[in-house]
Structures are given as C-alpha cells and as structure tokens.
Amino acid sequence: MKAVRLYDAFDLRVEEVDRPPSPPAGYVTIDVRAAGICGSDVHNYRTGQWISRRPSTAGHEFCGCVSAIGEGVEDLAIGDLVAADSRFYCGQCKACRSGRTNICEHLGFVGEVCDGGFAEQTQLPARLVYKHDPSLDPAVAAMAEPLAVALHAVRRLNPLQGEAIILIGCGTIGGLCGLLLSHLHDGKLLFADLNGTRAEMVAGICAGSVVALDKSQVRTALGNARLRYAVDATGSTKAIAQGIELLDGGGVFALVGISHGQLDLDPNLLVEREISLVGCHAFEDELADAIALLPKLQSSLLQFIEVLSSLDEIPDAYHRLIGGRSTKLKTIIRIAD
C-alpha cells in the first residue's frame, strides 16, 4: 500500500509499504478515507523536533472505516466510520488517572510514536477511535481532531457571555476557535492576522471583524468597550506581547500556538492588571463533543478547506504551506471513499 513517511527533517517520502497485519488485542485496522495536514506536521518536517521513529508514517488528523478488529474490542464493528484521537497516552500515570490524558507523563502522538493516517491503512488502539455520523463528508470528519483542540482552548478561555474576544492568528486552530465561538458565544469577535485576506475570510465565516493588534483600533471596533479575552494561535512571541497589552484588567489570554523563542515579559503586567495566561495543550475529553458538533458546522468547515486527491500530493503541499501559498485554513487529502 502507499504511505507518506518521515525519515528526517526535510526528508518526506511517498513509498510502497506492507499493509498492517491482523490487529493485535485491543487494536483495530482502519482504511483511511481522509487525512489533514497539521501545522505541527509541517513544523516537525522543518525541524525534526519530534521525530522519535525513523521512518514513521505521518498524519494524526484522519478518519476512516474500520476493516478489522482485534480480540477484546467490543464497541466497534467492521464497517464503522470513525475519527481518530491523536494522543497516544499511557492511561496509567497520575495525570491519566486524573483524567488529564493531554498531559500524560509519557504522552506521544499518532504519526510520531506509532504510524499515522497518511496511508491507505493504519492501526490504532480501539480507545483512540470514535464513531461519527455517516452523513459527514470525509473531509469534514477528518477535522474532528483539530476541532477538539480548538474546543479545548475555548473551554480553557471560559469567556463570560457578552464579552468581546480577539482571536490572534487565523490559521486552522484560530479559525476553528472563531467558528466555535460564533456558535457558542454571544460576544463580539475580533480577528487579527498578518495575512489580511485570510483574516477577512475567517471573519466573514464567523461573523466577526478584522483588526490590527493596535489598542486604538481595537477600542474603536468595540465602541470603547473593554477587551478581557484573547486567544493566540500563532505562537509568535511578538503577537503574544502585543495581545497582553490589549487586554483590560481581569483578562484571560489562552495560548494554543506552537511558539518559537522566549517571551520577554514583565510579570508586573500580569500582577497589576490581574491577567491570566492559560496554556492549552491538545485536548482532554473534547473529541467526542467535537465530533457531535461536526454536522452542525459542516457547511462552514467546507469553506475552510482545500481537498487534494492523492497521497502523492502531500510533499508538494508541505512546501506550499511552508511558503504560505495556501489560500485555505486546512489541507485535506482524500484517500478512499
């Protein structure tokens, strides 16, 4: 079968590999229907930061059809349409036993510690596999994992109803946070991104407004109302610093982007204005809830994505994403019907 495998930084190959054997106890085989390219996939390709197996089949955002079941699997059947959990957690450490599987002491990710979804078939523990509505477009079902990441960030932000929120960064997670908030929150939404065209697209879909990271412009957009909530989905230390300056007292800033470099921060800004910085890592139990939201969000999600028709297109897609040449928020590869 065909698979896209990462050997090292800037070494991604489309290859023919053996199909998985019969699944061991507790595992299922999945015929992959669609898979998404995540910003972390591209980051790992550029830096090699999280390469723990060489080679490994990349891809942790995917959906498929269960085609074989290992001993002891009771809640899934051959033919079930499913979405995958990206978090390969141990289930035994103190964090896992407390329900915080996203901060498992031994946490790895699908496509890193085990083969992922950039292949015609893959195998996962049944505990990482969730059924979805059969009516979903596979390209939308493959969005379950990033939507869960965004839902976790929104819940960690926990904004009071009616309060304005600024979303900094209109990539996949920033856009999905905005989309969720447009359905779950009744306050005004502001969007900021260096790519003005992308910001306008996201704001249009999410019924928000585009602003620069400028206090006077934000004040004008809000009619001088206060701004106490922000999400950073860029990881840019400059954008984070600018966002902190925008927040009024009692604010909350949720950080969900992958950062480069260190933040030069005067902690007195946080103390005197009582601003909370909240880290958001992957997701906890939000995947099932995200999957349940997909039918309602399907029409909007389809506006966010570009769909490729072959695994062979993935290496070129990586290069386009690195060069900022994609006009959409998410690139999805259709692998099988």
Mean pLDDT calculated for residue range 234-263: 93
CATH number, domain with residue 128:
3.90.180.10
What pLDDT is stored for residue 274 in this prediction? Answer: 96
State percent of the chain over pLDDT 70. Answer: 100
Structural domains counted in the chain: 2
**Distance between CA atoms of 263 and 184, rounded to whole angstroms?**
31
**42 and 122 fall within a common domain:** yes
Mean pLDDT calculated for residue range 156-179: 97
Task: Judge whether residue 51 has pLDDT over 90.
Answer: no
At residue 42, what is the residue type? V
What pLDDT is stored for residue 261 in this prediction? Answer: 82
Phi, psi of 138 (to 5 degrees): -55, -35
DSSP string, 166-195: EEE--SHHHHHHHHHHHHH--S-EEEE-S-
Token pair 């910003």 is found at 39
**6 and 30 fall within a common domain:** yes
Q: What is the pLDDT of residues 278-316, one digit of tens each?
A: 999 999 999 999 999 999 999 999 999 999 999 999 999
CATH number, domain with residue 263:
3.40.50.720
Q: What is the pLDDT of residues 184-207, one digit of tens each?
A: 999 999 999 999 999 999 999 999
Where among 233, 248, 279 does a domain terminate?
Answer: 279
Task: Judge whether residue 178 has pLDDT over 90.
Answer: yes
- The pTM of this model reads 0.95
Phi, psi of 171 (to 5 degrees): -80, -160
**289 and 263 fall within a common domain:** no
What pLDDT is stored for residue 157 in this prediction? Answer: 97
What pLDDT is stored for residue 40 in this prediction? Answer: 87
Mean pLDDT calculated for residue range 76-86: 97
What pLDDT is stored for residue 326 in this prediction? Answer: 85
**Distance between CA atoms of 311 and 234, rounded to whole angstroms?**
27
**273 and 288 fall within a common domain:** no
Each as own residue / partner, the long-range contacts of residues 42-48 (CB below 8 Å, 24 or more positions apart, any chain) are 42/318, 42/321, 42/322, 43/258, 44/6, 44/112, 45/6, 45/9, 45/10, 45/12, 45/318, 46/9, 46/10, 46/322, 47/9, 48/8, 48/9
Confidence of residue 48 (pLDDT cuts 50, 70, 90): confident
What pLDDT is stored for residue 280 in this prediction? Answer: 96
**34 and 156 fall within a common domain:** no
**141 and 245 fall within a common domain:** no
Q: At what angle do helices 144-157 and 172-184 cross, to 10 degrees?
A: 60
Q: What is the pLDDT of residues 95-116, one digit of tens each?
A: 999 989 998 999 889 999 999 9
Where among 279, 296, 316 does a domain terminate?
Answer: 279
**264 and 304 fall within a common domain:** no
**202 and 259 fall within a common domain:** yes
**187 and 54 fall within a common domain:** no
- Which two structure tokens, joined as six digits, stand for 332? 């999805």
Task: Judge whether residue 260 has pLDDT over 80.
Answer: no
**136 and 196 fall within a common domain:** no
DSSP string, 14-81: EEE-PPP-S--TTEEEEEEEEEEE-HHHHHHHHH-TT--SSSEE---EEEEEEEEE-TT--S--TT-E
**Distance between CA atoms of 152 and 246, rounded to whole angstroms?**
23
Confidence of residue 258 (pLDDT cuts 50, 70, 90): confident
**128 and 174 fall within a common domain:** no
At residue 266, what is the residue type? D
Mean pLDDT calculated for residue range 3-10: 95
Range of the domain at 254: 150-279
Confidence of residue 337 (pLDDT cuts 50, 70, 90): confident
**125 and 89 fall within a common domain:** yes
- Which two structure tokens, joined as six digits, stand for 62? 């995917």
